[in-house]
Amino acid sequence: MKKIYKTASDALDGVLEDGMTIAAGGFGLCGIPELLIQAIREDGAKDLTFASNNAGVDGFGLGILLESRQVKKMISSYVGENAEFMRQYLSGELELEFAPQGTLAERMRSAGCGIPGFYTKTGVGTVIADGKEHKEFNGETYILEEGIFADLSIVKAWKADETGNLVFRKTARNFNPPAAMCGKICIAEVEEIVPTGSLDPDSIHLPGIYVHRLIQGEHEKRIEQRTVSAA
């Protein structure tokens, strides 16, 4: 099966549709699939639902899809750092489903493992629990959370081999693997593609069976919050 494509637009060809649910990896501006996000903007697909820890910042990451009004709903944990996100949400232009970070990651991972739902104590007694099934285990109350089964996953990794085995760098490893697992189709952008067999099997973070398409590209190394000491 051919997995390597020349560009992000090539990799998305025949995949994007209006109204899709897309799981996007990354944390803040670390490990975000910026090339694929830009290609989605250029394609113009609209009414999209994104499951992602956050929505980038103004002018970068998922923020550019908010600016172009291509996002209908966000399933997120953190919505700071993005003025346009807040403006659209407060004005009723954007739907928002809050999910605690651990719960969001597990909703993706469990779907990738074929598990439609799970019980967790996180969110019990808060607005997160509203409308969800409650159940007691060993005297403790839990709520039922449903897995996120996405139409498409877009992720960013450090290295891949030609079969799609992925290696992530540091913080990029948190949401990218579960996001990759839960999509019917997973497209990964990477900094380097190496020959099959050259990656140490014990160092592979996500098996290639989850990855359907690959691109290699140049990526911008942004710092979301720059903190410096006084001279």
Q: State pLDDT tens for residues 87-97.
A: 999 999 999 99
Q: Would you state the structure tokens that stand for residue 83, as one six-digit string?
A: 């003025």
Predicted confidence band at 186 (pLDDT cuts at 50, 70, 90)? very high
Q: Give the amino acid at 27.
A: F
Judged against a pLDDT cut of 80, whether residue 164 lies above it is answered with: yes
In degrees, rounded to 5, the angle at the alpha carbon of residue 141 between the alpha carbons of residues 176 and 78 is 30
User: What average pLDDT does the chain have?
Assistant: 94
Judged against a pLDDT cut of 90, whether residue 222 lies above it is answered with: no
pLDDT digits (tens, 9 = 90+) for 50-105: 999 998 888 899 999 999 999 999 999 988 778 899 899 999 999 999 999 999 99
Percent above pLDDT 90 for the chain: 85
- Provide DSSP, 180-218: HHTEEEEEEEEEEEE-TT-S-GGG-SB-GGG--EEEE--
The pLDDT assigned to 175 comes to 96
What does the buried/exposed string (b/e) look like for 186-207 if buried means 16 or more CB atoms within 10 Å of the residue's CB? bbbbbeebeeeeebeeeebbbe
CB within 8 Å of 197: residues ≥ 6 apart:
161
Contact yes or no for 4/214 (Cβ under 8 A): yes
pLDDT digits (tens, 9 = 90+) for 4-49: 999 999 999 999 999 999 999 998 889 999 999 999 999 999 999 9
Alpha-carbon distances of 131 from 125, 126, 141, 144, 147, rounded to whole Å: 12, 11, 15, 10, 16
Per CATH, the number for 8-216 is: 3.40.1080.10
The pLDDT assigned to 183 comes to 98
d(CA 40, CA 12): 8
Contact yes or no for 115/147 (Cβ under 8 A): yes
For the chain, how many residues are written?
231
Judged against a pLDDT cut of 90, whether residue 200 lies above it is answered with: yes
Compute the Cα dihedral for 179, 185, 186, 189 and give only its sign.
Answer: negative
Predicted confidence band at 131 (pLDDT cuts at 50, 70, 90)? very high
